[in-house]
Chains A and B, each alone.
Chain A
Amino acid sequence: AQSVTQLGSHVSVSEGALVLLRCNYSSSVPPYLFWYVQYPNQGLQLLLKYTTGATLVKGINGFEAEFKKSETSFHLTKPSAHMSDAAEYFCAVSGGAAGNKLTFGGGTRVLVKP
């Protein structure tokens, strides 16, 4: 079975500082990888996704993620945090043995300090 691990359930960053959220997956075949964001009292929305091709993927709101097959990782970054980035972020994987099922990590809640 596929699994997704997000290191750190809570991350605190200062406004303007780098945001780095870690995601590692286990899969016997290259999966499809996603990052979703959930703002307070809202549903999840897609930040970015990796399917094939370029391993550095750019998403909305200045976020990007890099697929590293050798490290089975898909870490999310943003060079400069904004107060509006305060939210919960979920890494997810599909494909491979899990087929159409999208498996989520436990989520990382980001707090941005002024």
Chain B
Amino acid sequence: GAGVSQSPSNKVTEKGKDVELRCDPISGHTALYWYRQSLGQGLEFLIYFQGNSAPDKSGLPSDRFSAERTGGSVSTLTIQRTQQEDSAVYLCASSSNRGLANNSPLHFGNGTRLTVT
């Protein structure tokens, strides 16, 4: 079956522009995560959606970052007024977990490589 799909796979943008990154999770997965992977920084949690609950936004690095998940499926991560330090690979993952703690594995997309010039 189809896995987690992210688009675009690569994005080059000028400093100060806004960008939107899209994630299509696996059908039926209620949990959706965004992570950022930078050189030397490992995987940084950004935001987590679980069903109709309020998202956990505790990892968003600044108010320039926002995300939404429409209809419990597709998610869009938006970065406004991009800065060079936003350059990274943005990974989306989904999970079928419905419990209070995530013991179900995450299924990752291949990521969007963002380069801010």
Contact = CB atoms under 8 A, between A and B. Distances in A.
Contact of B103 (A43, A51, A90, A105): A51
B105 interface: yes
Q: How many A residues touch the partner, as a band?
A: 20 to 34
Contact of A32 (B33, B101, B111): B101
Interface string B27-67: 00001010100000111010010100000101100000000
Interface string A30-71: 001010100001111110010100000000000000000000
Interface string B1-26: 00010000000000000000000000
Contacts, number: 65
Contacts of A94: 101-103
Given A43-B108, A100-B50, A100-B56, A95 B45 contact: no
Contacts of B33: 102
A46 to B, nearest CB: 4
Contacts of A79: none
Nearest to B45: A101
A45 B109 CA distance: 9
Contacts of A101: 45, 48, 56, 58-59, 102
Given A43-B111, A90-B42, A96 B106 contact: no
B42, B56, B109 — which one has the most chain A CB atoms within 10 A of its CB? B42
A99 interface: yes
Interface in B90-115: 91, 93, 97, 100-103, 105-106, 108-111
Given A44-B108, A100-B50, A102-B102, A107 B56 contact: no
Given A32-B102, A32-B103, A43-B111, 14 more contacts: A41-B110, A43-B109, A44-B43, A44-B93, A46-B106, A94-B102, A100-B100, A101-B56, A101-B58, A102-B33, A102-B106, A103-B45, A104-B43, A105-B42
Interface of A: 32, 34, 36, 41-46, 49, 51, 90, 94-96, 99-107
